[in-house]
Each structure stands twice: as C-alpha cells, then as structure tokens.
C-alpha cells in the first residue's frame, strides 16, 4: 500500500478457502447466514443499492459499446422508473 506522502507499506493479505481467494463462502454467508458470519473487519460489504449501481454500470457500458454513444445513466434509470438513492 502506498499513501501519498508516506513510505510504501507491505500488507498481509488473508487467503481463504474456496473460489475468489476465499471470498465466495464469505459472500454467501453474508447473504444466507448473516448472523453466523463474523463482521467484515475492513467494512467492505456492499448493499443492494451498490449492487444496483454495479449492474447499471454494466448495462450502460454495454449500451455505449453497442451504440458508440455516451449513455445518460440518470435518464436510463428514469425511463425505467428506477430509484437507486
């Protein structure tokens, strides 16, 4: 890790079991057994709103690639009566 104005630091990255470096079992635990999973010490968890924005980013990117034009995400959301606030 390297923060501006500071010397670089070596960080230990924990490795878990399963796919995606062990992230899949943790993710599934948060979805299907949230009380049985230890809290994320790095506070990385996303919610449904972040998931919606992620999906919209992919949809807008694909539309832009297909059309060659800029995609107005706000207009796309409004056209489908979607509120991600």
Q: What is the rounded CA–CA span in Å between residue 17 and residue 62?
A: 33
Give the CA count within 13 Å in the CB-facing half-sphere of 75: 4
Q: pTM for this one?
A: 0.54
Q: What is the rounded CA–CA span in Å between residue 62 and residue 76?
A: 13
pLDDT of residue 57: 93
Spell out the long-range contacts of 55-63 with Cβ–Cβ below 8 A and sequence spacing 24 or more.
56/82, 56/84
Q: What is the rounded CA–CA span in Å between residue 54 and residue 16?
A: 25
- Span 58-73, pLDDT tens digits: 999 999 999 999 999 9
- Span 41-58, pLDDT tens digits: 777 777 888 888 899 999
Q: What is the rounded CA–CA span in Å between residue 47 and residue 30?
A: 11
List the domain boundaries for the chain.
48-79
């Amino acid at each position: 890790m390297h923060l501006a104005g500071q010397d670089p630091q070596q960080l230990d990255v924990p490795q878990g079991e399963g796919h995606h470096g062990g992230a899949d079992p943790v993710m599934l635990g948060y979805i299907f057994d949230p009380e049985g999973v230890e809290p994320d010490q790095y506070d990385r968890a996303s919610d449904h709103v972040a998931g919606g924005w992620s999906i919209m980013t992919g949809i807008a990117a694909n539309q832009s690639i297909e059309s060659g034009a800029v995609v107005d995400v706000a207009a796309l959301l409004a056209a489908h009566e979607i509120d991600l606030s």
